[in-house]
Amino acid sequence: MGNCAGRTDFEWVYTDQPHTQRRKEMLAKYPAIKNLMRPDPNLKWTVMAMVLAQLVACYLARGLTWRWLLFWAYTFGGCVNHSLTLAIHDISHNTAFGTGRAAYNRWFAVFANLPVGVPYAASFKKYHVDHHRYLGGDGLDVDVPTRLEGWLFCTPARKLLWLALQPFFYSLRPLCVHPKAVTRMEVFNALVQLAVDAAIFALWGLKPVAYLLASSLLGLGLHPISGHFVAEHYMFLKGHETYSYYGPLNWITFNVGYHVEHHDFPSIPGCNLPLVRKIAPEYYDHLPQHHSWVKVLWDFVFEDSLGPYARVKRVCKLAEDSL
């Protein structure tokens, strides 16, 4: 397999995740933060515009050569589809219609899923709850790579390949780490997605469908926006398991870069996360942060101390209530 330098295991900790205690302290000190826990009034309109943009792009892709189709799938479609997956992330926290209309959020996530080309939204919701409740939890948080990934993808070339194949690892890892029963919502998500894919194929042919799938595979793979996958929880500094990024790419990613703030307050929509930092800067300004997602990817590939093993893991007890 070649020589692997750097880490040979995860960073095991035996403490609870820090976000729960910080949330309690901040709400006691700044009760105004509770006012930020409301739906994003612009989210549904933004998502609808993005879905429409990709449908128009599908129509235009009919006459493209394969070379130009892949170019536009990476440069335009990849940005839109990756952004839509982050909209689905926000919607999974009921930020489109509020917690009182949870079903509306689930259905709208299926709509946001349409340009992605494969059913994603319902399964993401099912597992993302565990990511927040059991951050780094062994066998529970499927955001953490497997031991096989840590052992295998440990050289620059292999780490580069691992980054390019992120859509596959994120899709398959839950089935290996923490398989769950298929839900009715997942079946609905799959049927709707397949029906739309079939309709696009029947109306406009193969290339528009290939454009959507390429947009997802390329946009979620080795792409500047994909730096957030690594930036959020990979241990760049010992003792820190969650990091924020406050740069301009937040403008097209629903502020997913405000990731410490997001884990402190998952029910606050991305549009309001900068206000959390503004209200309580003493909780965030001193924390290590990333300034470039591209640099994050570069360091991940070429630094021996970084790789799939560079994650905090903890043993968690199963909770009975829902997030």
Q: Is 22 exposed, middle or buried (0-12, 13-18, 19+ CB in 10 A)?
A: middle
| Per-chain mean pLDDT for the chain | 95
Q: Is the pLDDT of residue 296 over 70?
A: yes
Q: Alpha helix locations (H) across 205-253?
A: 206-219, 227-233
What is the reported pLDDT for 320? 62
Report the pLDDT value the prediction gives residue 321, as an integer from 0 to 100: 53
List pLDDT tens digits, range 13-72: 988 888 999 999 999 999 999 999 999 999 999 999 999 999 999 999 999 999 999 999
- Residue 11, classed as helix, strand or coil, is strand
In angstroms, the CA 164 to CA 303 distance is: 17
228 pLDDT exceeds 60? yes
Q: What is the dihedral of CA 216, 217, 223, 227, to 10 degrees?
A: 80
Q: What is the separation of C-alpha 216 from the centre of its chain, rounded to a whole number of angstroms?
A: 13
Pick from 70, 128, 153: nearest CA to 256: 128
Read off φ and ψ for residue 290, nearest 5 degrees. -95, 150
> For residue range 66-101, what is the model confidence (pLDDT) as tens digits?
999 999 999 999 999 999 999 999 999 999 999 999
Per-residue pLDDT at 275 exceeds 90: yes
Mean pLDDT of 98-112: 97
CB 192 within 8 A of CB 198: no
Q: Return the domain boundaries, the chain.
A: 11-314
Report d(CA 241, CA 234) in Å as an integer: 6
pLDDT over 90 at 7, yes or no: no
Q: For position 3, what pLDDT does the model report?
A: 61
Q: For residue 317, name the pLDDT band (cuts at 50, 70, 90).
A: confident
Tell me, what's the pLDDT at 16?
A: 87
pLDDT at 15: 85
Q: Tokens 């939890």 identify what position?
A: 137
